[in-house]
Amino acid sequence: MPETPEPCPTPGEGAAGGTEAVAGAGRGPAILLSLPALERLAGPAFEAALVDLVHLWTRALAAGDAAIVTVGLGGLADIILGGDDPACAARAGALAAVAQKAAGAAPTGLIVDDREAGLRLGLSRLSAVELWQTGDGRTARRLRPSLTASIARSGGDVEAAERWLFGRRTLVDAPGVDHAALRAKGFTDVELEAIEQALTQVESLADAFRPPVLDAGFLRDVLGAGAEAPDLLTELGFSRDAITQAEAWAFGHGDLAGWAGAPDGLTAILSDPGAFEAALVAAVETASALPDTTPVVIDWRTTAPQAARLLADAAREGRRAIRLMRAAPPAGPLLDLVEPEPAPRARRWEPEARAVERVVEKVIERDRTRRKLPDRRKGYIQKAAVGGHKVYIHTGEYEDGELGEIFIDMHKEGAAFRSLMNNFAIAISIGLQYGVPLDEFVDAFIFTRFEPAGVVTGNDSIRSATSILDYIFRELGVSYLDRHELANAEPDPMSGNGLGALEGDGDAPAAVPAARFISKGFARGTAPDNLVVLPFGQKRETSPAPTVATEAVACPACGDFALQQRGAGWICDTCGAAPSMQG
């Protein structure tokens, strides 16, 4: 070991004294050394390499007339843990003394708190878990290598430490909740295998006992639990202690504080790594020309008396300096500042704005909904034959008489054609119930041409059709839309309501029984048997009035003014003479 360095400058000596020295440390140049990397490169000549490196950097940094130079010893905890006596903090003081001796007479600080620089060098605060990057670029967790080497050197079981830290990712032989306890609750090998696979991907035991890991039907039928159960194990009767023990068995404890297999010399370090690292910093501070000014972050609501109490506690502990830094307040709280009242202004007269009436029109689009037909509905059935093929048309109507459905029955046709027509009728019915106008269907399907086609029998308005669809939609257009231009035959000479009589009958047509036009089954007998339909509502065609001569002509035979022109000649209505009228 190099000899003990000369005493460091005390406050008041030279340029680096007291408060000025502490303030100048923040403005002077600083370098952070990675001691673990230096040990891997130098091997047994680690301390000699440290002396050369510190001497080189201090001379380079002091060349710019800097009053104070800081050379940080990064990764000191990993170096101490790699030694023969990891719990001894004296080696940290010895390394600090070596670095201070190598710096020479220039005041040199040995503590640097630069997390960004430490991250670039692969340095971090001492903890049991370390994040590292695998060869394929993924980030994984592992036991800190320095702790691994120290545990192995002290005779501890490294694998047991890793199982305690990261867990076993299985419930086999787990305390509290194991496979035997789960089988007693109704779990089978299928569910247990799914849980074991899920334990390698989740971070809590509850996530392995909910869908989609477990089937919703199994939860409902076998376990009697809902698919949204927040804690299935609690509902199954497992105690909170049993669940906690099983979760620690599967996912680990996160640190080595309570590990029963810790070696005797490492128990204090594993229980509180932060306290061990603070002791190393305190040992380095004794050899440093500058005190440790690592900021101590206090709550943003800390008052001045509370901050003064922290300063007093640091003085009683013998600390050379302390740096308090208030944490940033959260984004939510706002300061309650008194808003000043606006200065009064002289009011000036402004003309009143005339309100202009505007008509605002807003188009509201409503989603189409299906208009349901009544369960018991009226309609009619039309039997006809198109080209010798019988066709039955069944219609269903709403209460207001609007068409709502059709059925097409061609029972003598083949199964394929009959099924096609039935499904076509269902499609038309759905369109009508969703508000598609019947006019659209009529215009789309009339005059379509395919077999069967030809003469139509059994329909008083349609005498011929070019196809089945042409006949069906012409019939619907005539019956429901009054589109008589689609009919190619005049119906029977009856009135508009179908209750009239043929021409040439008497002036007083006979009454028609209502049962001819009203369904007795639909009315369910509510109409009386003697109900008849009177024909007084019939439209009568007015006979043309006889032509009356505008001028009377005297008969030359009898002298009566009854001579009438009949065609090309004249005839007297009184005597019957037919004189020849000339001139």
- The answer to whether position 259 is within a domain reads no
For the chain, the distance separating the N- and C-terminal CA atoms, rounded to the nearest angstrom, is: 167
Which of 268-272, 401-405, 560-564 has the weakest average pLDDT?
560-564
389: confidence class by pLDDT, cuts 50, 70, 90 = very high
Which of 135-149, 250-264, 316-330, 564-578 has the weakest average pLDDT?
564-578
Higher pLDDT, 50 or 513: 50
10: confidence class by pLDDT, cuts 50, 70, 90 = very low
Give the side-chain half-sphere CA count within 13 A for 367: 2
Cα(502)–Cα(491) distance, integer angstroms? 11
Answer yes or no: do 226 and 274 share one domain.
no
Peptide bond just before 212 cis, omega within 30 deg:
yes
Q: Are 145 and 162 in contact (CB under 8 A)?
A: no
Cα(583)–Cα(574) distance, integer angstroms? 23
Answer yes or no: do 442 and 386 share one domain.
yes
Residue where a domain terminates, one of 284, 300, 324: 324
Tokens (6 digits) for 145: 């290598």
Task: Give the distance, in angstroms, between the CA of residue 291 and the centroid of all CA atoms in the same chain.
Answer: 55
Higher pLDDT, 365 or 80: 80
Tell me the residue range of the domain where 427 lies.
381-486
> Phi first, then psi: what are they for 111, rounded to 5°?
-125, 120
Q: Are 25 and 70 in contact (CB under 8 A)?
A: yes
Q: Identify the pLDDT of residue 284.
A: 86
Residue where a domain terminates, one of 290, 306, 324: 324
- The answer to whether position 117 is within a domain reads yes
Mean pLDDT of 132-153: 87
- The answer to whether position 362 is within a domain reads no
Q: Identify the pLDDT of residue 345.
A: 76
Q: Does the pLDDT at position 542 exceed 80? A: no
> Phi first, then psi: what are they for 149, rounded to 5°?
-65, -40
Q: What total number of domains does the chain contain? A: 4
Q: Are 227 and 220 in contact (CB under 8 A)?
A: yes
Answer yes or no: do 244 and 288 share one domain.
no
Residue where a domain terminates, one of 454, 469, 486: 486
The listed range with the strongest mean pLDDT (316-325, 421-430, 488-497) is 421-430
Q: Does the pLDDT at position 6 exceed 50? A: no
- The answer to whether position 294 is within a domain reads yes
* 550: helix, strand or coil: coil
Answer yes or no: do 47 and 69 share one domain.
yes
CB atoms within 10 A of CB 445: 20
Answer yes or no: do 243 and 295 share one domain.
no
- The answer to whether position 1 is within a domain reads no
pLDDT digits (tens, 9 = 90+) for 58-109: 888 776 665 678 888 888 888 888 877 766 677 888 888 888 888 877 677 8
Q: Does the pLDDT at position 550 exceed 60? A: no
Q: What is the pTM of this model?
A: 0.50
Higher pLDDT, 570 or 171: 171
Supply the mean pLDDT for the chain: 80
Higher pLDDT, 543 or 77: 77
467: confidence class by pLDDT, cuts 50, 70, 90 = very high
Answer yes or no: do 270 and 220 share one domain.
no
Q: Identify the pLDDT of residue 27.
A: 60
Q: Identify the pLDDT of residue 344.
A: 79
Answer yes or no: do 270 and 245 share one domain.
no
Task: Give the distance, in angstroms, between the CA of residue 372 and the centroid of all CA atoms in the same chain.
Answer: 33
Q: Identify the pLDDT of residue 65.
A: 62
